[in-house]
Structure 1
Amino acid sequence: MASLWLAQAAPALADGGVVELDPSLCDPSAIADRVPDATDTAFAAFVEQIREEGQHTPILVRKHPAASGRYEIAYGRRRTRAAREIGKPVRAVVRDLSDAELVVAQGSENLAREDLSYIERAHFARNMEQAGVARDVILKAMGVHRPDLVNYFAVAEAIPAPVLAAIGPAPKIGRPRWLTLADRIQAASPEQIDTALASPDLSGKASDERFAAVLAALSVAPKPKKKPKGETLKDSKGLKYARVERSATGLRVTVEEAAEPGFGDYLAERIPEILAAYRATKA
């Protein structure tokens, strides 16, 4: 079947016309723009729509620069995946694209898609930067100004890969709530983060709900530190003249100057003498 599809495609490859390709020969772009989500119920409906109505819009590919006979997808990865599941060829336009032209085409398609979430856009921008794509090309691909791009980088950098993998694309979650999560991640211990990601509350829930569960799990206030044990010292008349507080790290003596003026200075001056006497008892 693959050879038949390629034979049908061959005459149109040169002029960029629509051809039919074996979807198993089409590889995703090296720069990911999607965050995987195993609970994406919309994809099943998307597959059925293509099964019933056919593929209306072709994907865009180029000949794979490193694998003869294969193609690299600029955009249309979901359509390719759907065609593979149905067992039909994928309608495609094959163009001679440079690396920069491929990511710009990929980004332009992303901007036109309402289902690409904020965090997916942020990680797409960061993935381009990590792949060595020039900043001006990233700006063109994302269709944003430099301050917006800096914000994308900041959010993507602040969300660790395990957290993103556990949550998924979270399509309804915008930048402010991702920043709130980033702040809580920074304040949390590694153990708290691991516990949040392993919570059974995430199982079977949609991506937005998983985001809310992780955010809530990391909002638990840390346990307050135990106050040091205190003891109030009083004289024979019941007058409070000092307070002694013991903790795991030491002992603190607070003298009530109003009750016994000058006693604090007297005590401080004799600390070396007291220490020497104490050491003498241990000799």
Structure 2
Amino acid sequence: MNQKKRLSAIMGTPIQTETPQQASPESSMGYAPVAGATAPSPAPEKRPAAARSMAAMWAASRPGPVDADGTVVELDPELCLPSAIADRVPDATNDAFNAFVEQIREEGQHTPILVRRHPRQSGHYEIAYGRRRTRAAQVLGKAVRAVVRDLSDAELLVAQGSENLAREDLSYIERAHFARNMEQAGVARDVILKAMGVHRPDLANYLAVAEAIPAAVLAAIGPAPKVGRPRWLTLASRIKVAPAERVDTALSSPDLIGKASDERFSLILSALAESAPRKKARDEIVKDARGVKFARVERSSNAMRVTLDEKAEPGFADYLAERLPELLAAYRQSRS
């Protein structure tokens, strides 16, 4: 199955091949008109420079300003389904979502979500971005404010990725997770690059990290918002050399219960740290004045073993054993 057919199977709509005469995903986007709705009131947002740059490029390719281009409607959040390509890593211990719900309860939903009519389920919608706002509306039992647009599969992914770029709370592993999910769905590399807002070397890094972290490890850790690429690579290298039983033990440790995602990452990383290699025992042969070998001394990091050759010196072993208490007393006296 080629890439277009695989993506079509997952996203639910035919994938159109773009020719030089056709518009690109960014320049062909248009809001679907919805009668009887009002235009959204823009809320000031604090975005990183890269996000502002991407947003400006995206908005410049459209027929009008982003806030004046469509209308806002109120939808039943139960009818708004997540995108087929996940960008979030679930985290049951994330208290930030509860705070987000309370904020919407007190202040209302400032920014509408973006959806398209669901390609497979009549009467439903597929979310390009705004999944957390939709979940919050479900919790509160309120309608979710949304803009409905006619989006192709590629356009939906670019919109989803552009919103991701603007999120300061989307972690490194979630971005890597999103990139890998798109690749596994058969999305073309040029579309992934546009959705991620990155260059090819950066995308290669994301994919390498996502490929190196098993699904079970990612599920146990969660999004780990404060963990960047270097520490994920360290964890990946430890997973690679650790026995499977050791990894399973680390993931099922009771110490993880109730801990925040970043803490779970640190605990698993520590659990998979390589133990200090044991020093090999050093054998020493002891000879008498005539050069006859009569004892072997084996040393390790915390012990010493003396083996006496009874044939070389008969009776010496008994003699030494009887005088060990005297030798210990003499040793202690010499130290004092």
TM-score range for the pair, normalised by the shorter chain length = 0.7 to 0.9
Q: Which runs of 5+ in 2 are unaligned?
A: 1-32, 38-68, 297-336
From 143, 165, 168, give the equivalent of 1:111: 165
- Check if 1:11 corresponds to 2:21: no
Distance 1:137 1:225 in 2: 53
Distance 1:224 1:73 in 2: 55
For the residue of structure 1 that corresponds to 2:136, the secondary structure is helix
Following superposition, the deviation at residue 17 of structure 1 comes to 1.1
2:99 alignment partner in structure 1: 45
Q: 1:21 to 1:162 in 2, by over 3 A?
A: same
Q: 1:12 to 1:141 in 2, by over 3 A?
A: farther
For the residue of structure 2 that corresponds to 1:93, the secondary structure is strand
Asked if structure 1 preserves the Cα contact closer than 8 Å seen for 2:158 and 2:191, the reply is yes
From 5, 14, 24, give the equivalent of 2:78: 24
The AA in structure 2 aligned to 1:145 is H
Written as runs of structure 1 = structure 2, the 5 A alignment for 1:178-197 is 178-197=232-251
Higher relative contact order (CA 8 A, sep 6+): 2
The alignment's TM-score, normalised by the length of structure 2, stands at 0.65
- Check if 1:129 corresponds to 2:183: yes
For the residue of structure 1 that corresponds to 2:35, the secondary structure is helix
For the residue of structure 2 that corresponds to 1:62, the secondary structure is strand
Distance 2:277 2:245 in 1: 14
For the residue of structure 2 that corresponds to 1:34, the secondary structure is coil
The alignment's TM-score, normalised by the length of structure 1, stands at 0.76
Distance 2:276 2:206 in 1: 30
From 101, 115, 122, give the equivalent of 2:155: 101
The AA in structure 2 aligned to 1:21 is L
Distance 2:238 2:144 in 1: 44
The AA in structure 1 aligned to 2:35 is P
Distance 1:34 1:224 in 2: 42
Q: Percent identity?
A: 78
Q: 1:225 to 1:69 in 2, by over 3 A?
A: farther
Following superposition, the deviation at residue 172 of structure 1 comes to 0.4
Task: Provide Cα deviations, 1:253-275, integer angstroms capped at 9, x if missing partner.
Answer: xxxxxxxxxxxxxxxxxxxxxxx
Asked if structure 2 preserves the Cα contact closer than 8 Å seen for 1:12 and 1:18, the reply is no
Distance 2:257 2:78 in 1: 31
Following superposition, the deviation at residue 131 of structure 1 comes to 0.6
1:75 alignment partner in structure 2: 129
For the residue of structure 1 that corresponds to 2:259, the secondary structure is coil
Task: Provide Cα deviations, 1:102-135, integer angstroms capped at 9, x if missing partner.
Answer: 0000000000000000000001000000011100
Distance 1:198 1:225 in 2: 31
Asked if structure 1 preserves the Cα contact closer than 8 Å seen for 2:34 and 2:71, the reply is no
